[in-house]
Amino acid sequence: MTNSCQGNAAKRPRKMTLTDSIFIVIFVALFLLVVIDAMVPTVRFLFLPSVFGQSLYSVISGALILYYGLIWGVRKVADQIKKEKNSERRLRTLISKAFEFIGLVKMGPIDSLYVSFSMLTGMVFNILILYGVAISSGGILYRRPFPSDIYLTIRFLIVAPLFEELIFRGVYLSAFLKILGRNYISVALGLMLSSITFGWIHTDQFPVPVIKTAGAFLLGIIYLAKWKKNFLATYLAHFGLNFVGVFLYVGHT
């Protein structure tokens, strides 16, 4: 019987390239920064909220991972692109591969059901988290009025999930498993590194980073559960998490 966690695409580590080595260094460095931040509060200035609405750490790490992710992604389909005879066909091939990666093509009924279930899972997860926080803190779960700031709402519901999933699941976790091979150890390590790093870039007070880390584990599992058509599912699960956060909050009387 084939190991269900290994899948068909990447059972063993591939030969390490320079880009792969840079990836691993970035992954480990970002995780070590999280550890340092947790143990040495004096370095917190690196993680304070910036004008981007996230921490400086979030902006830098996202830019680095996305930059090398694009290099890694283009190199992955470079041979197929070179076979095309003109620039227009090369561009169309690149775009089609990108759409295939995020799961927007070749979706059957089961895939659509999985994507819908993923969004529902994200919503239920956040409701349960908020309810648990309300009980443990002696608070009450309140419903927010419809947001008046449409720009911030769109950024929170669409832009943030898209960017964060592209970085932390679409590039970080995906590349990590492609480099090290997809087995129980690499999956567990990749989930730990990507989830804790994701949780800590949100510079809220404790226990919010812990809750964000738990949410990132859920998103990572959703991402891995359907290896080829996964990004759309994890994006909509993230959308579901944030959607609940727009309309529900924990308050204290």
State residue 139 phi and psi, 5-degree precision: -95, -175
Q: How far apart are CA 233 and CA 4, in angstroms?
A: 19
Angstrom distance (rounded) from CA 119 to CA 117: 5
What pLDDT score does 72 carry? 75
Q: Tens digits of per-residue pLDDT, 48-60?
A: 544 444 556 667 7
3-state secondary structure of 251: strand
Rounded to whole angstroms, the Cα distance separating 86 from 66 reads 27
Residue appearing with tokens 């999956």: 187
Res 217: pLDDT:
95
pTM, two decimals, is: 0.79
Beta bridge partners of 127: none
pLDDT at res. 126: 94
Sequence ranges of the domains in the chain:
18-251
Q: Which portions of the chain are predicted below pLDDT 50?
A: 1-10, 45, 49-53
Q: Which residues contact 191 (CB under 8 A, 6 or more apart)?
A: 173, 217, 220, 221, 224
